A and B are shown apart, each in its own frame.
Chain A
Amino acid sequence: MTARTTQSWPTDEGLIAAERAADAGPEWVAETRRQGLRIFRDEGVPHAKIEAWKYTGVNGLVGIGFDPQGTVPEVVIPPPPPLAGLEDAYHLVFVNGRFAPRLSDLDGLPQGAALEPLTAADPNPPEAVRAYLGRILELDGMPFAALNTAFWTEGCLVSLDDGCALSRPIHLVSIAAGGETPAMFAPRTLVVVGRGARATIVESHLGATAAPTFSNAVVEVVAADGAVVEHYKRVEGGESGFHTGASAVRLGADASYDGFALTLGGRLVRNEYRMTLASPGAECRINGAYAAFGDSHVDNTTLIDHVAAGATSREIFMGVIGDTARGVFQGKIRVRKHAQKTDGHQLHKAILLSSGAEVDAKPELEIYADDVKCTHGATAGKLDETMLFYLLSRGIPESDAQRMLIQAFLSGALDEIRHADVREALRGALNKTVDDATRNLRDDQ
């Protein structure tokens, strides 16, 4: 990797100050912080010559001048409306990365379950944090995650003892609210699910204002043998909302993970997943849908790493791109030499609604074992004209017909979500976004 020469963001003074801060903080966090800083110094802000960032430029983000150490605006916002259908979830709410106890609801957690805010300044963090935080995600090639590791101050811990099953979903809400200065924050989440334990986690990354915000998140998930983890993510940023989110997942033997990334807005969103199937029999499902309008840029980048034999992975991402928006999908399945009997399938499908819309899809298989079953594919096209005409011929107005077909198309991905309540809650959020966007189409006519 070349040293950082092209970009001087954040400033060297900023990085040096961060180093000093790391030295001054608790030892459990200092080590990972230094590592994050080192990697960020080596790799720098990504640019188009770096393969993984070829289709997603960050000049717009860098140009805003976010300060990774800046104090984020203290804003008092009304409680966000709960996601319809998830009212009875446990709620942990953060505003500009700060825990907001008054907006949160943690009542009724069963024995063996912990759900709590986390701070990097805590000299005595829970054992799970010492054991796993910063040890699941490999930072190489992940400059923004490295930056999160160097600068995070608050986050949260979800931890379930062996055999503990949560019946209600956990809803982690992160609200970005810009003020007079651009707000940047780095949420850090650790999820540790014990043997045979079960958890459903929904992350919502929301933009509450039109002012620039940058939420640079990292989530690490460790699922022990036989654990069942459902992990769903919704991003609905504002017009000037930037979000980079790296999720690293490590699955034990026969553990199962059902993941979904729903992106409904934001100036620039990159959802990056690194799944490690390190033990036999693990099942990994990572799916997603996005509706990109205006000039938003939505990037889903995934690496599914089959290390152990006999694991399965399924991946379907579907997107609808309108106006001058852009979609990017980079999906790699890596099958290591000993990962025989791997069963991996990946698909990306996009619909482009306008001539100014664009999509770049790069599915990749990297296979070193010889007895595997792997497929991948990508399609991009327009809304099906025959279907559109069929709806029109029944008197359905064009904008409604488009809306129905877009929602129907994205259902192909959404239907993959195993948790029924979450599936319908996310469908509601998606339908609303598509309703608004197609209503705009009609107003333009």
Chain B
Amino acid sequence: MALLEIQGLRARVEGNEILKGVDLRVEAGAVHAVMGPNGSGKSTLAHVIAGRPGYEVTDGSITFEGRDLLALAADERARAGVFLAFQYPVEIPGVTNTTFLRHALNAQRAERGEAALDPIEFVRMLRDKMRALDITENLLKRPVNVGFSGGEKKRNEILQMAVLEPRLAVLDETDSGLDIDALRVVADGVNALRSSARGMLLITHYQRVLTYVVPDHVHVFAGGVIVASGGKDLASELEEKGYADFVGAAAA
């Protein structure tokens, strides 16, 4: 059984069809890169997987560990093990980062029938993960993402992933806008979480990140469909030729 199986997925946002028949299969242990031009619908795909309200699925199916993912609400999907690292992480004034992370983790623990961690146990658990991602204590005390730099926001997404240990991680352009040092930190964080039990969907616009996080499969996404799939070499081919050929194929 595949970890994630998407078949013939069509979805609309505000009446416009953005996903036009997506087929994708992710096995546990595999990292799939999804590359495509801006506006091709990559974030839409990520949001539909995560269950964002307002994204209307008109056809097709998403199966996660054999369950009908589309039947679950967004919070249920997350507790089932689906994680989305946002392209644009959301600022939440008035909720500290620690409180946010602790509530998220405890919600998942409750789902698994485990006791909630108290604030002290939680912070202890957090320390190592923070260090690896170069996240300071100060960032945890501040309201979620408020006033964080672009790099801090992205590292914070990876920290959340590290805390929640999802079965499927969808990373939406987590590499965008990072300088080379920040990119390395983020890539190390992602690599640290690669495991035989976990699948990853690495959505990116640039080939650059794929030299740090080497994917098992690469898909080219254009016009709301996957137009080509291959191994990691497909990424370099894409880098040389650009998206034009593939976009043409989608239009044809």
Chain A residues proximal to chain B, CB less than 8 Å:
385-387, 389-398, 400-401, 404-405, 407-409, 411-412
Size bracket, chain B contacts = 20 to 34
In the complex, the answer to whether B86 meets A390 with C-beta atoms within 8 Å is yes
B51 contact set on A, CB distance < 8 A: 392-393
- Give, as a whole number of angstroms, the nearest-CB distance from B18 to chain A: 17
- Give, as a whole number of angstroms, the nearest-CB distance from A318 to chain B: 11
B99 contact set on A, CB distance < 8 A: 404
Of A386, A397, A408, the residue contacting B75 (CB under 8 A) is A397
Closest A residue by C-beta to B75: A392
Chain B residues proximal to chain A, CB less than 8 Å:
50-54, 73-75, 78-79, 83-84, 86, 89-90, 92-95, 99-100, 103-104, 107-108, 111, 143-144, 160, 164
| Given A389-B53, A389-B74, A390-B86: A396 and B92 interface contact (C-beta under 8 Å) | no
In the complex, the answer to whether A394 meets B104 with C-beta atoms within 8 Å is yes
Of A389, A394, A407, A409, the residue contacting B100 (CB under 8 A) is A394
A395 contact set on B, CB distance < 8 A: 75, 78-79, 104, 107-108, 111, 164
In the complex, the answer to whether B95 meets A404 with C-beta atoms within 8 Å is yes
Beyond A393-B74, A397-B107, list 13 extra A-B contacts (CB 8 Å).
A389-B74, A389-B90, A391-B104, A392-B74, A392-B78, A394-B164, A395-B164, A396-B103, A398-B73, A401-B75, A404-B95, A408-B143, A409-B94
Closest A residue by C-beta to B92: A387
| Given A389-B53, A408-B93, A408-B95: A400 and B107 interface contact (C-beta under 8 Å) | yes
- Give, as a whole number of angstroms, the nearest-CB distance from A387 to chain B: 5
In the complex, the answer to whether A394 meets B78 with C-beta atoms within 8 Å is yes
A407 contact set on B, CB distance < 8 A: 94
In the complex the two chains form, what is the Cα distance from A390 to B52 in whole Å?
9
Closest A residue by C-beta to B93: A408
25 contacts between A and B (CB under 8 A): A385-B53, A385-B54, A389-B74, A391-B92, A392-B51, A392-B78, A393-B51, A393-B52, A393-B74, A393-B78, A393-B83, A394-B78, A394-B160, A395-B79, A395-B107, A395-B108, A395-B111, A395-B164, A396-B78, A396-B107, A400-B103, A404-B95, A405-B95, A408-B143, A409-B94
A396 contact set on B, CB distance < 8 A: 75, 78, 103-104, 107
Of A392, A405, A411, the residue contacting B73 (CB under 8 A) is A392
- Give, as a whole number of angstroms, the nearest-CB distance from B168 to chain A: 13
A385 contact set on B, CB distance < 8 A: 53-54
- Give, as a whole number of angstroms, the nearest-CB distance from B26 to chain A: 18
- Give, as a whole number of angstroms, the nearest-CB distance from B121 to chain A: 18
A-B contact count (CB 8 A): 75
Closest B residue by C-beta to A390: B90
- Give, as a whole number of angstroms, the nearest-CB distance from B47 to chain A: 9
In the complex the two chains form, what is the Cα distance from A73 to B51 in whole Å?
56
- Give, as a whole number of angstroms, the nearest-CB distance from A349 to chain B: 12
| Given A389-B52, A389-B53: A398 and B94 interface contact (C-beta under 8 Å) | no
A397 contact set on B, CB distance < 8 A: 75, 107
In the complex the two chains form, what is the Cα distance from A401 to B83 in whole Å?
17
Of B52, B94, B107, B143, the residue contacting A394 (CB under 8 A) is B107
A391 contact set on B, CB distance < 8 A: 92, 100, 103-104
In the complex the two chains form, what is the Cα distance from A85 to B83 in whole Å?
39
In the complex the two chains form, what is the Cα distance from A405 to B100 in whole Å?
11
In the complex, the answer to whether A393 meets B103 with C-beta atoms within 8 Å is no
Closest A residue by C-beta to B74: A392
Select the residue from A385, A386, A409 with max chain B CB neighbours within 10 A.
Answer: A386
A389 contact set on B, CB distance < 8 A: 52-53, 74, 90
In the complex the two chains form, what is the Cα distance from A395 to B92 in whole Å?
16
- Give, as a whole number of angstroms, the nearest-CB distance from A442 to chain B: 12
In the complex the two chains form, what is the Cα distance from A144 to B54 in whole Å?
49
Q: Which 9 A-B pairs have CB atoms at the shortest separation, nearest pair first?
A: A408-B94, A395-B78, A394-B104, A390-B90, A392-B74, A392-B75, A395-B79, A411-B94, A395-B107
In the complex, the answer to whether B94 meets A386 with C-beta atoms within 8 Å is no
Closest A residue by C-beta to B80: A395
In the complex the two chains form, what is the Cα distance from A385 to B78 in whole Å?
17
B78 contact set on A, CB distance < 8 A: 392-396
In the complex the two chains form, what is the Cα distance from A412 to B74 in whole Å?
28
A400 contact set on B, CB distance < 8 A: 103, 107
In the complex the two chains form, what is the Cα distance from A386 to B84 in whole Å?
14
| Given A393-B74, A394-B164, A398-B73: A405 and B107 interface contact (C-beta under 8 Å) | no
In the complex the two chains form, what is the Cα distance from A401 to B92 in whole Å?
11
In the complex the two chains form, what is the Cα distance from A407 to B93 in whole Å?
10
- Give, as a whole number of angstroms, the nearest-CB distance from A174 to chain B: 30
In the complex the two chains form, what is the Cα distance from A443 to B107 in whole Å?
18
In the complex the two chains form, what is the Cα distance from A409 to B95 in whole Å?
9
